Amino acid sequence: MTFKPYPVLTLLTAVSVVILIMFGNWQWRRYEEKMAVAGAAPEWATVSGTLMPGSVRQVYSLAGGSAAWRDVVLVETEEGAAFVAQTLHYGMDAPAPTLISEPQFFSARGIWHEAGQRNTFSTVDDPEAGLFYAFDPVALAASLPEDLAGKVLPRVFEPETLLRTDGAAPEPVVNPFAQPEQNERLPPERHFGYALTWWGLAIGLIGVYLALHHQRGRLRFRGTENP
């Protein structure tokens, strides 16, 4: 076999292949990390306090790949105030929000989540209408009176169950967000697919590199002749 590589092309290809493999390896590590989290039991906590009148806001989310709206309300506790999800309504359009006219006692088991993240394609919040597109306590608190906003904790609480309101009658259902893996925006399967994609690109680039050299007569195997 004879091989006469193009120096600059070889350097650029080698660097590109290394980068693609690194991206693939990183996605694979994220896949393994999230699979480990997916099999872990939730770290249950109990929140007890007072539902605050006038604090109901509606947050858009994706639940199991479907559009959904949730009423979230501020619960004042001894440690501070936390936004807590209350209802689940599947559909693109926000339903009429739940009204709380007076303080009510609240207690539920669930898990704490970090603030929700928004991306470049997220719709702009409409605070005047009480519509938000990320479960972000900072954005939600900005629509509250200053004295109450100052008590809001930087994380949110997901109860074990929610009240589903898009059926013939409201019914309690398991909260799809009260799972450890819901802290992450991408499911582990997506990272697995991304890893295969990056590695596939690396293999494809090597194939193109070798094919180009073979076509130009710089890569010849024993038994082949130059055209």
Q: Which of 72, 65, 68 is nearest to 91 (CA)?
A: 68
Four-CA torsion 200, 202, 207, 208, nearest 10 degrees: 110
Cα angle 53, 176, 155; round to 5: 50
Is residue 84 a contact partner of residue 107, using CB atoms and an 8 Å limit?
no
| Those residues with Cβ within 8 angstroms of residue 194's Cβ, 6 or more apart along the chain or in another chain | 23, 24, 27
pLDDT of residue 35: 79
pLDDT of residue 135: 92
Whole-prediction pTM: 0.64
pLDDT of residue 219: 87
Side-chain-side CA neighbours of 94 within 13 Å: the count stands at 18
Q: Please report, in tens digits, the pLDDT of each residue of the chain (227 residues total).
A: 888 999 999 999 999 999 999 999 999 998 888 777 666 667 889 999 999 999 999 999 888 778 999 999 999 998 899 999 999 999 999 998 888 888 899 999 999 988 877 767 778 999 999 999 999 999 999 999 888 889 999 999 999 999 999 988 999 999 988 865 554 556 788 899 999 999 999 999 999 999 999 888 888 877 555 54
Q: Can you read off the two tokens belonging to residue 174?
A: 């398991």
pLDDT of residue 181: 53
Q: Can you read off the two tokens belonging to residue 5?
A: 């590589």
Side-chain-side CA neighbours of 157 within 13 Å: the count stands at 27
Would you say the C-alpha torsion 100, 102, 103, 108 has a positive or negative sign?
negative
